[in-house]
Chain A
Amino acid sequence: NAGVTQTPKFQVLKTGQSMTLQCAQDMNHEYMSWYRQDPGMGLRLIHYSVGAGITDQGEVPNGYNVSRSTTEDFPLRLLSAAPSQTSVYFCASSYGKGNTEAFFGQGTRLTVV
Chain B
Amino acid sequence: GDSVTQMEGPVTLSEEAFLTINCTYTATGYPSLFWYVQYPGEGLQLLLKATKADDKGSNKGFEATYRKETTSFHLEKGSVQVSDSAVYFCAPRAYGQNFVFGPGTRLSVLP
Contact = CB atoms under 8 A, between A and B. Distances in A.
A81 B86 CA distance: 30
B43 interface: yes
A99 B51 contact: yes
Q: Is the interface of B mostly helix, strand, loop or mixed?
A: loop
Interface string A80-113: 0000000000101000011111111111000000
A41 interface: yes
Residue in B8, B31, B43, B99 with the greatest tally of chain A CB atoms within 10 Å: B43
Nearest to A90: B43
Interface of A: 4, 33, 35, 40-45, 48, 58, 90, 92, 97-107
Given A43-B89, A43-B101, A107-B43, A101 B96 contact: no
B43 A40 contact: no
B70 interface: no
Interface of B: 8, 31-32, 34, 36, 42-46, 49, 51, 89, 93-99, 101-104
Given A104-B36, A104-B45, 6 more contacts: A4-B43, A35-B101, A45-B99, A98-B96, A102-B99, A107-B42
B98 A101 contact: no
A105 B43 CA distance: 6
Nearest to B32: A99
Contacts, number: 52
Contact of A40 (B93, B95, B103): B103
A101 B101 contact: no
Nearest to B102: A42
Contacts of B104: 42
B98 A45 contact: yes
A99 B98 contact: no
Contacts of B44: 43, 90, 92, 102, 104
A106 B44 CA distance: 8
B38 to A, nearest CB: 9
